[in-house]
Structure 1
Amino acid sequence: MRVTVIGGSGHIGSFLVPRLVRAGHEVTNISRGTSRPYTEAPEWQQVHHVTADREAEDRDETFADRVAALKPDVVVDLVCFTLESAAQLVQRLRGEVGHLLHCGSVWRYGQSLKLPIREGSDSAAPPFGEYGIQKNRIALMLKEETASGGLATTSLHPGHIVGPGWQPVGPLGNLDPTVWQTISAGQPLRIPGSGTELMHHVHADDVAQAFEQAIARRGAAAGEDFNIVAPTALTVRGYADIAAAWFGHAAVLETVSWDRFRGNTSREHADASWNHLYRSQCFSIEKAASVLGYAPRYEPEQAIFESIQWLVDHEQLHVARPLGVAG
């Protein structure tokens, strides 16, 4: 099939595009053209590249026309963040494209109420924050579009995406690189809250696998939404303990109040920590496994170790001791 991937040079697309080529699809990647894929693969030589500024073209209401002009059978949208942008694409592709797949986010859910969080259940509170609210609105719109007899759509909702080439969400729920310096040196790490809060990561290639499976199983996937995460989630304390073991020692943890944590942390990192830890999310992948055949290869700590190893090897993250081996 002719598959157009919007944002195919990013976290997910770096793994998805080569997968689609290997599966025999004719792939076009639409991106801003400002970055290279995170992974090198010979399959990229067979990909047609289109450079576009989606945000600007959405304002001009021309981006959807650009996508339609490629005459794809399938469109995978990895970089849509507003209901308005998603609606423009749906309206233009309706009746012309066989399947539209959207990359959502687990932040379409608010804080956990019952665990694990399942699709379509009352196991999470409503979303909060503009990003999560928009992702939820898009997912609901897509579901209604298909249910009403319109375009066949599927939305996949990854957890905290991890992979080689970028920093993972760390044990404190933020991207502060000094956290890894502290852990690697065996110094006390101040953690806000109880330390039992949950984060649910997923390797980018496992997300790519889910998209590939959804394309292959359009009949089953149409009109559905799926949680796409690792088989298990990490607590703050468990994450820190596992990470410290990579550097040959136990984690030294100090529980502090949120006020004290904010007083010793930049606003950016403190806000990120609160957003991750207040949600304290853990998701079921039962639906994705049974409907799509989703079978993630990575436990969260394996995915995170791979990411940290890459950053250290490429001198993008400095740690006090050499990394050992992931358990």
Structure 2
Amino acid sequence: MKIVVIGGSGHIGSFLVPRLVRAGHEVTNISRGRHKTYVDAPEWQNVRQIAADREQEDREGTFGDRVAALGADVVVDLVCFTLESATSLVERLRGQTGHLVHCGSVWRYGPSRKLPISEGSDTAGPTFGDYGIQKDRIARMLKDETASGGLVTTSLHPGHIVGPGWHPIGPLGNLDPAVWHALSAGEPLQVPGSGTEMMHHVHADDLAQAFEMAIEHREAAAGEDFNIVAPTALSVRGYADIAAGWFGQTAKLETVSWEDFRQSTTPEFGESTWGHLYRSQCFSIEKAKSLLGYAPRYEPEEAVLESVRWLIDNDQLSVAAALQEPAVR
């Protein structure tokens, strides 16, 4: 098939685009052209590259025309963040493209009420924050679009994406590199909340697998939304304990109030920690497994360890001790 990937040079596309080429598809990548892919692969030599600034072209009302003119059988949209942008693309592709596959986010859900959180249930509370609200509105619009006989759409909702080349969401639910140094040195780590809050990661290649399967199983995926995460989730305390063990240490966690925690870190890290821990999410992947055949390879700690190892090996993360775990897949 002819497949257009919007934003294919990022976290997901670095793994998805080579998968699609290996499967025999004709792939075009639309991106701003400012970022090298996170993982090198020979398949990129067979990918048509188009440089475009989506935000600017959305403002000008020309982006949908650009995508529609490519005559794709499938469009994979990895970088859509507003209902207005998603609606504009759907209206332009309706009747011309066979399948639109959209990347959403598990933050379309609010705080957990029951675990695991499953699609279309009352297992999560109300969505909050502009990012999550927009992703939820997009997913609902896409489902309604297909149900009304319009464009065939599918939305996939990943957890916290992990892979080589970028920092993972850490045990405190933020990107603070000091957390990893403290764990590697056996130093105390201040933890707000109860320590039992959950985070659900997913390796970028497992997520790419799900996108590929949604394309392959269009009939099963049509009009559906899917949670795409690792087989299990990590609690704050469990995550910290596992990560400290990679360096031959035992996590030393000190429970502090949210006020004290916020005073000990930056506003950005403090807000990120609160956002992840307040949601305390763990998701079911039974729907993706049964309808798409989704079979994630990575447990969350394996995915995080691969990312941490890459950061250390490439001098992008300072730690106090060497990793003691063998290389992961």
TM-score band, normalised by shorter chain: over 0.9
Letter of the 2:46 partner, please give it.
Q
Letter of the 2:207 partner, please give it.
V
Q: Which residue of 2 aligns with 1:296?
A: 296
CA distance in 1: counterparts of 2:135 and 2:53, whole angstroms: 20
Q: Which residue of 1 aligns with 2:91?
A: 91
Residue 200 (structure 1) shift: 0.1
Equivalent residue of 2:135, what SS? helix
Equivalent residue of 1:302, what SS? helix
Residue 96 (structure 1) shift: 0.2
Residue 126 (structure 1) shift: 1.4
Letter of the 1:45 partner, please give it.
Q
Equivalent residue of 1:97, what SS? coil
Q: Which residue of 2 aligns with 1:138?
A: 138
CA distance in 2: counterparts of 1:156 and 1:120, whole angstroms: 13
Where do 1:1-327 residues align within 5 Å? 1-325=1-325
Residue 6 (structure 1) shift: 0.2
CA distance in 1: counterparts of 2:126 and 2:304, whole angstroms: 28
May I ask how many residue pairs the two structures share in their alignment? 327
CA distance in 1: counterparts of 2:93 and 2:252, whole angstroms: 54
1:273-318 C-alpha deviation (Å, 9 max, x unpaired) = 0000000000000000000000000000000000000000000001
Equivalent residue of 1:14, what SS? helix
Residue 324 (structure 1) shift: 1.3
Identity %: 74
Equivalent residue of 1:20, what SS? helix
1:241-264 C-alpha deviation (Å, 9 max, x unpaired) = 000000001111101010110111
Equivalent residue of 1:35, what SS? coil
1:73-110 C-alpha deviation (Å, 9 max, x unpaired) = 00000000000000000000000000000000000000
* RMSD of aligned Cα (Å): 0.7
Unpaired runs of 5+ residues, structure 1, are none
Using the size of structure 1 for normalisation, the TM-score is 0.99
- Indicate conservation of the 8 Å contact 2:161/2:202, yes or no: yes
Letter of the 2:232 partner, please give it.
T
Letter of the 2:226 partner, please give it.
F
Residue 206 (structure 1) shift: 0.3
Letter of the 1:196 partner, please give it.
T
Letter of the 1:136 partner, please give it.
D
1:82-141 C-alpha deviation (Å, 9 max, x unpaired) = 000000000000000000000000000000000000000000011100000000000000
- Indicate conservation of the 8 Å contact 2:183/2:249, yes or no: no
